[in-house]
A and B are shown apart, each in its own frame.
Chain A
Amino acid sequence: MLIRFFAGAAEAAGTEEMEFDAAGHTLETLQTALGADNERLAKVMAASSWLADGQRTSSGPLDGVAQLDVLPPFAGG
């Protein structure tokens, strides 16, 4: 699965994209895994919304998801 980090999430992650083996993972366990050694990213992820293959998601299994977008709180206008 390709994870795409945007804006402040990319800055916190130190990358805009990364490959992640999502087998057996849920959105919750993914956040625990990615946030384990990155407290700042953990905070940003906790405030973020998510797109799994373009569809809004907020929890649950990630099996079969090809692309997961991490969207921090919007700040347009």
Chain B
Amino acid sequence: MKLIAAVVDTDVDRDALYAEVDDDRAGAVVSFSGVVRNHDGGKAVTGIQYVGHPSAEDVMKRTIAEFADREGVHAIAAQHRVGDLDIGGVALYVAVAASHRGQAFRCAADIVDRVKEVLPIWKKQYLADGGHEWSQCP
């Protein structure tokens, strides 16, 4: 079982991570990219700054390890970016290799949901009007 999990402050190398989950037992590789969009809640967005708690990488590693015993899953690679990203920048990347496609789809979707739930990372959205807002923060 190959597990890669990290929080990085340089651009996520999707090709390299995809290659890392290559496995002869896998009949399906599902990858997910969470990318910076140019709008949120009806407002125009020009970029995002992601900020992580010092524990973020440890939490990321523990979280991905929760999926190590998923039936049929042979390899997982997941990274979350911190720092400044432009529109289209990759904030979260997950790749899962599994014996069958249903296993890979479900595992990838569950990882993304779990990461969003527990990973201590925040995003500051820069708006086209010159302002900014912290997502999810009252």
Which A residues are within 8 Å of any B CB, using their own CB? 6-9, 11, 43-44, 46-47, 51, 54, 69, 71-77
Residue of B nearest to A46 (CB): B138
Q: If the complex has contacts A7-B122, A77-B91, A77-B116, are A72 and B136 also in contact, measured as CB distance less than 8 A? A: yes
Chain B residue numbers with a CB within 8 Å of A71 are 53, 120
Residues A7 and B124 in contact, CB atoms below 8 Å apart: yes
Kindly list the 5 A-B residue pairs having the minimum CB-CB distance in the complex, ordered from nearest.
A8-B137, A8-B134, A7-B122, A76-B121, A75-B135
The majority secondary structure among interface residues of chain B is: mixed
Expressed in whole angstroms, the Cα–Cα distance for A63 and B51 within the complex equals: 29
Does the CB pair A75–B115 fall under 8 Å? no
**Interface residues of B, CB < 8 Å — how many?**
24
| Interface residue ranges, B against A (CB under 8 Å) | 34, 50-51, 53, 55, 80, 91-92, 112, 115-124, 134-138
Cβ of A7: which chain B residues have Cβ within 8 Å of it?
Answer: 51, 122, 124, 134, 137
